[in-house]
A and B are shown apart, each in its own frame.
Chain A
Amino acid sequence: LAKTTQPISMDSYEGQEVNITCSHNNIATNDYITWYQQFPSQGPRFIIQGYKTKVTNEVASLFIPADRKSSTLSLPRVSLSDTAVYYCLVGGHSSASKIIFGSGTRLSIRP
């Protein structure tokens, strides 16, 4: 199983750029890297997915180095509403049971 390691928590301030790094040393060739956001009492919400290099959408960017053993979720100019838990996942391409959420990173944004 491709296990991921993320910081347990991070703090930042409104308007700052936040980068959350995830390590996944055992990522398989076919695995994608996916990030989810979860607010209290809600289900996780898909943010972004990538395979290599850089992916950008309207809410975030995902940076993946050539060896794919880590990835960085970048949130530009965060606001208070970005306070949430962020999960990095790899795998799932071959088996749903190999999708492991882990404990995530609890991001707290302050005014």
Chain B
Amino acid sequence: DTGVSQNPRHKITKRGQNVTFRCDPISEHNRLYWYRQTLGQGPEFLTYFQNEAQLEKSRLLSDRFSAERPKGSFSTLEIQRTEQGDSAMYLCASSPREEGAKNIQYFGAGTRLSVL
């Protein structure tokens, strides 16, 4: 299967700890997105990469959140000093290069974070 892969699938951490999630997009996709989803809500945009460049970042994103895509392939999302409000599903998606298809995204299964 060459879909979007996210690891870990589940993460339980204590408040104040740092966590890092990894996303491996579909190999030929140059665009990568991170979203956060809470129960009963749709995914909320966090940040967007085109190749290794982080082109967009949500204004709602706390400075405790940082994302990287160092070689334009996999990406990591780090949350520092986690808070209980960070508990959510973190989704990664990728999309192909074709212009006009920017919002056809292929999602991973997500990483579910629980902050105790």
Interface residues of A (CB under 8 A from B): 32, 34, 41-46, 49, 85, 87, 89, 91-93, 95-97, 99-104
In chain B, positions 67-109 with a C-beta closer than 8 Å to chain A are 91-93, 100-109
Contact between A34 and B104, CB atoms less than 8 A apart: yes
- What is the interface of chain A mostly: helix, strand, loop, or mixed? loop
Alpha-carbon gap, A102 to B45, bound state (A): 11
Q: A42-B110, A43-B110 are in contact. Are A99 and B4 (CB under 8 A)?
A: no
Instruction: Considering the complex, give the chain B residue whose CB is closest to the CB of A104.
Output: B42
Q: Using a CB-CB cutoff of 8 Å, which residues 46-73 of chain B contact chain A?
A: 48, 55-58
In the complex, the answer to whether B103 meets A91 with C-beta atoms within 8 Å is yes
5 smallest CB-CB distances across A and B, nearest first, come from: A43-B107, A101-B42, A92-B103, A96-B48, A97-B56
**CA distance in complex: A14, B103 (Å):** 31
